[in-house]
Amino acid sequence: MNPTQFAVFGHPIGHSLSPRIHQAFAQQFGLALEYRAIDAPPADFAAAVRAFFAAGGAGANVTLPHKAAAFALADQCSPSASRVGTANVLTALPDGRLAAHNTDGDGMVRDITERHGVDLRGHTALLLGAGGAARGVAWNLLDAGVATLTIVNRSPAAADALADAIGEPARAHTRYWQDLADIGSYDLIVNATSAGVLGVPLPLPFSLVGARALCYDLSYGVAASSFLAWAKAADARYAFDGLGMLLETAADAFALWHGQRPETEPVYQLLRQASA
């Protein structure tokens, strides 16, 4: 019998650790599966996804820049995906339709609060970016108890649209990117831009970093290195990349597909040692 087929779609995707992560999870349960990375430019994404599932694919993870397109492609959406309007998991239903899920926000909060032991309640939060990655975590930051969420994006219209969708003006609001040097300091700064993945500079003022600040990049590895270097130079108390978030979201997807949730910490430590 051929192993069950899974994949991760993105562009670029060569850096992805998802195939290694899901194989490590499968070993915990003695499961045989095939998991591969598929590079799909935006114009080819929908056709590539449909071809994968038509050929017997059971589930797929979705990363930049396809999370909004994945949500639009699905026939059925989970409450979390419907709330944010993006998806990072697609699952084949028995009747051939596709179901969309979004596990990003839950995974990020679990990584911060459980793995790193940081209580987010009462924090003032700054969210850099307003695209699919930012939408995937914004509501969960509020659910986790941050006092305020300031959204800043190079395109003000996208930031305004996200704040409007959240619909809590007393807690979630926007500021202009050009005003970053004058908007004060924050307890939590989340980089949800694609700058690191694209290798584009992201100049930020040190004044954003508050006395107890946690700086968190949704990317991991080389893509997060520039933002983390800035955070450390600004004397942030904590500076974390999104590797733990990746592990937690992958475990949620694995549980959706296999009915069993794997242990993430052994795989996290393994990948940290490998990167060191």
pLDDT tens per residue across span 148-202: 999 999 999 999 999 999 999 999 999 999 999 999 999 999 999 999 988 999 9
> CA-CA distances (angstroms) from residue 245 to 1, 64, 155?
33, 15, 26
- The catalytic site residues sit at 67
| DSSP label of 213 | E
What pLDDT, on a 0 to 100 scale, did the predictor assign at position 197? 87
Q: Are residues 80 and 118 in the same domain?
A: no
CATH number at 109 reads 3.40.50.720
> CA-CA distances (angstroms) from residue 161 to 130, 167, 184, 190?
9, 10, 23, 18
Q: 249 in helix, strand or coil?
A: helix
Q: Are residues 111 and 193 in the same domain?
A: yes
What pLDDT, on a 0 to 100 scale, did the predictor assign at position 120? 98
Q: Which two tokens stand for residue 183?
A: 């908007």
- The 8 Å CB, 24+ separation contacts for 112-119 are 112/144, 112/214, 112/216, 112/240, 113/144, 115/244, 115/265, 115/268, 116/238, 116/240, 116/244, 118/214, 118/238, 119/145
Q: Are residues 79 and 42 in the same domain?
A: yes
Q: Are residues 120 and 27 in the same domain?
A: no
Q: Are residues 174 and 133 in the same domain?
A: yes
What pLDDT, on a 0 to 100 scale, did the predictor assign at position 35? 98
What pLDDT, on a 0 to 100 scale, did the predictor assign at position 215? 98
Q: Are residues 36 and 152 in the same domain?
A: no
91: domain range? 4-102+246-275
Q: Are residues 236 and 206 in the same domain?
A: yes
Confirm if 101 and 253 have CB atoms less than 8 A apart: yes
Specify the number of domains making up the chain.
Answer: 2
The phi and psi torsions of 219 (rounded to 5 degrees) equal -85, 175
For the chain, 276 residues long, the average pLDDT of each consecutive 10-residue run is 87 94 98 97 98 97 94 97 96 96 97 98 97 95 98 97 97 97 98 92 96 96 96 98 98 97 98 88
Q: Are residues 58 and 118 in the same domain?
A: no
pTM: 0.95
What pLDDT, on a 0 to 100 scale, did the predictor assign at position 2? 67
What pLDDT, on a 0 to 100 scale, did the predictor assign at position 15? 87
Q: Are residues 109 and 236 in the same domain?
A: yes
CATH number at 265 reads 3.40.50.10860
What would the pLDDT profile of 231-243 be if each residue is shown by its tens digit? 999 999 999 999 9
Q: Are residues 142 and 230 in the same domain?
A: yes
Confirm if 246 and 8 have CB atoms less than 8 A apart: no
Q: Are residues 93 and 127 in the same domain?
A: no
Q: Are residues 23 and 114 in the same domain?
A: no
Cβ burial, residue 160 (10 Å; 0-12/13-18/19+): middle
DSSP string, 114-142: IIS----TT-EEEEE--SHHHHHHHHHHH
